[in-house]
Amino acid sequence: MRTFLRAILLASALSAAGIATNTLAASPVAPVLTTPDARDVRSYARPLVARVTHVDLDLTADFDTKTMSGQAAMDVLAAPGAKEIVLDTLGLTVSKVTDGAGRDLAWKLGASDAELGAPLTVQLNGARRIVVHYASSPGARALQWLPPSLTAGKAKPYLFSQGQDINNRSWIPTQDSPGIRQTWTARVVVPSDLVAVMSGARLTPDGEPAGEGKHAYRFRMDNSVPPYLIALAVGDLTFRELGPRTGVYTEPSMMDRAAAELVDTEKMVTTAEALYGPYRWGRYDVLVLPPSFPFGGMENPTLTFLTPTFITGDRANVGLVAHELAHSWSGNLVTNATWPDGWLNEGFTTYFENRIMEAQYGAPRAEMEADLDWDGMQADIAEVGGPTGEATKLYGDVGGQLAYFKGATFLRTIEKTVGRERWDAYLTSYFDRHAFQPQTTAGFLKDLRANLIKGDKGLEDKLQLDRWAYAAGLPDNAVHVKSEALARVDAQVAAFKQGAPASQLTTSAWTTQEWLRFLNSLPRQLSKAQLDDLDGTLKLSTSTNSYIRSAWLELAIANRYEPAVPALEEFLTSVGRGLFLRPLYAGLMKQGDWGRPIATRIFQKAKPTYHPTVASSLERLVSGG
């Protein structure tokens, strides 16, 4: 049995190396996990015994079998006397495990859980490098294999991965916990008519021969990252430079529209650096994916993944780019140690995103977006049971987008309380102090008290830190940014409610944010004549802006508005972003005998086009599970 002293010494060594021990400091209201082996409950890993520090991947992407196969070689940091290491896997077929010299090591796959997968326990026998030979399953949760028909070009297949939050264990056997940061390299073999890109330095941009009809691409990530940030895409990709360190990858038919929307990307990086310090990842490129990508964006280092739904021709939704860029500091540079600490990732980033938008596009734009976030936060609080609901707590299993909105409101409240200059100096120093390290909620509050509050009892009382982090609802000092532009939209809503026809509304110069305020503020019950007027005058069912169209379709569903059903079906079968899909399917299901058959019919048609994780959650929703 490992002694307490040995564990403490190892924990100190791991901490000095920037390694998470997955322990939480004691707090009067937080869970107290002070034992040395307290760990991320969503990982089988035991990092205080043995942990992965580096992964070398050598894999082949087989589009016929929809599998990734090859090997993952891992460097191991082990405690004195450690006999085994435990990895996370999900649906992997393991053929053998060896040490760095090729000698077989004993291994065993444990019982499998549908969500967590199965632990792979390897007997180290003194080895400090292990090699797992394996293949993923065709239904790997992190991977989506698209036939040509579901791509923009319609000619070649496409593959992309989505690792967050615990999906990468379905194609990489490793310790899949955000607090166990790792460096990595990869060699990926793909068909020679396709291009591979990954979330690391691209060592062979044009590939290299790897047998008949095959090319290999090599990548490297020298900064330690949480495993969920290892990302891959393979397809008919082309590249266009946006600036000295920025560029865009996408399919050729999408390039002109994508590049035009992303023209401000290089300037955005410079803006972010002026706020909170240097960008530390080298290049900042983006990949615009096919419509089935399940998120708005994913902050994979050096290569942000973006949904094509952000492309509207007017750059109205580049806040999405600002958000994913901001993750280069909050999330990628300083990472939540466990998923209950996830607001440290998304709340910080939402706040930072808004500051980038203010610096680059002006205060009115930032105020609109912050005001809409406040609306979203109130809606999410109501959705999870009101202000006393457990899911409204920042630390824990936060409901909806509350980790984003409540977290950002918390930081904005600190800014308004201490002043922007003082807050910005603190936040810059915070990113420096904790660069390339995991962080816990308790650790952040400790850092705030040591480096910002500094024993000021009056300031401590004003900020209500523990209440923000650990209590339900919103503290009474929450700062609500109000937008004058959206107040003018509210006047238009009032006019429509009082009988003004849609033709009398001044909507021609509205931004996406103004449209969303208008549509989301309308009564959920309208007459058919009012709905006909709105759609006929404002052309909402045919809007090319996915944000506007989805908000309109939510309203149409709430009113069982039959004329919008064809537009609804077209939208649900052409977009894969969960942010749009879930509210629409949920709205249909709430409409009982009218909506349920529509939801079931459309879902069965659209299911093959959705990412596996989205399809699974929607299937539960539509089936009533």
pLDDT over 60 (residue 15): no
Find the mean pLDDT for residues 466-487: 97
**Contacts of residue 156, Cβ cutoff 8 Å, sequence gap at least 6:** 148, 193, 194, 235, 236
Quick check: helix, strand or coil at residue 155? coil
pLDDT in tens, 556-582: 999 999 999 999 999 999 999 998 999
pLDDT at 17: 35
pLDDT confidence of residue 141: 95
Report in angstroms the alpha-carbon separations of 273 from 78, 110, 394, 609: 37, 46, 27, 38
Over residues 29-38, the mean pLDDT reads 31
Residue 156, number of CB atoms within 10 A of its CB: 18
Mean of the pLDDT values across residues 24-29? 28
CA distance 260 to 607: 31
Q: Count other Cβ atoms within 10 Å, centred on residue 11.
A: 20
The reported pLDDT for the residue numbered 582 is 95
Confidence of residue 33 (pLDDT cuts 50, 70, 90): very low
Give the catalytic positions in this structure: 324, 404
Structure tokens at 114: 């549908």
What confidence score (pLDDT) does residue 32 get?
27
Q: Are 57 and 184 in contact (CB under 8 A)?
A: yes
Per-residue pLDDT at 399 exceeds 90: no
Per-residue pLDDT reduced to its tens digit, 91-116: 999 999 999 999 999 999 999 999 99
pLDDT digits (tens, 9 = 90+) for 246-290: 999 999 999 999 999 999 999 999 999 999 999 999 999 999 999
What is the average pLDDT across 532-549?
95
Beta strands in 79-211 (DSSP E): 84-89, 93-99, 107-109, 118-123, 129-135, 143-146, 158-161, 182-191, 195-198, 201-202, 208-209
φ/ψ bin of 102: left (φ > 0), alpha (ψ from -120 to 50), beta (otherwise): left
Beta strand pairing call for 195-198 and 232-235: antiparallel
Query: Among residues of the chain, what percentage have pLDDT more than 70?
Result: 93
Q: Are 155 and 194 in contact (CB under 8 A)?
A: no
Mean per-residue pLDDT, 440-456: 96
What DSSP letter does each residue of 439-457 carry, written as one string?
A: E-HHHHHHHHIIIIITT-H
| More reliable by pLDDT, 506 or 99 | 99
Residue 545 has pLDDT above 70, yes or no: yes
Give residue 524's pLDDT band: very low, low, confident or very high (50, 70, 90): very high
Asked whether the predicted pLDDT for residue 427 surpasses 60, the reply is yes
Q: Is 542 exposed, middle or buried (0-12, 13-18, 19+ CB in 10 A)?
A: exposed
Span of 1-10, 281-290, 613-622 with lowest mean pLDDT:
1-10
Segments making up each domain of the chain, as ranges: 41-140+158-225, 359-470, 515-623
State the Rg of the chain over Cα.
Answer: 25
pLDDT band of residue 4 (cuts 50, 70, 90) is: very low
Q: At CB < 8 A and 24+ separation, what contacts does 618-623 make?
A: 618/581, 618/582, 618/585, 621/582, 621/585, 621/586, 621/589, 622/585, 622/589
Continuous segment of H or E residues that includes residue 58: strand 50-62
Residue 10 pLDDT exceeds 50: no
- Whether the pLDDT of residue 398 is over 80: the answer is no
Q: Which of 172, 170, 175 is nearest to 185 (CA)?
A: 172
The reply, when asked if residue 323 is annotated as ligand binding, is yes
What is the pTM (predicted TM-score) of this model?
Answer: 0.89
Higher-confidence position of 36 and 471: 471
Residue 21 pLDDT grade (very low, low, confident, very high; cuts 50, 70, 90):
very low
Half-sphere exposure of 165 (CA within 13 A, CB side): 20
Q: Which pLDDT score, from 0 to 100, does residue 358 have?
A: 98
pLDDT tens-digit map of 591-608: 999 999 999 999 999 998
Mean pLDDT (the chain, rounded): 92
Tell me the percentage of the chain whose pLDDT exceeds 90.
Answer: 86
pLDDT of residue 22: 35
Instruction: Check if CATH label 2.40.10.410 holds for domain 41-140+158-225.
Output: no
pLDDT of residue 25: 30
CATH 1.10.390.10 is the classification of domain 359-470: yes
515-623 folds as: 1.25.40
pLDDT score of 623 more than 60: yes
pLDDT of residue 295: 84
pLDDT value at residue 294: 83
| pLDDT value, residue 39 | 66
Predicted pLDDT at 31? 26
Q: Does residue 7 have a pLDDT over 60?
A: no
Q: What is the DSSP pairing of strand 201-202 with strand 118-123? A: unpaired
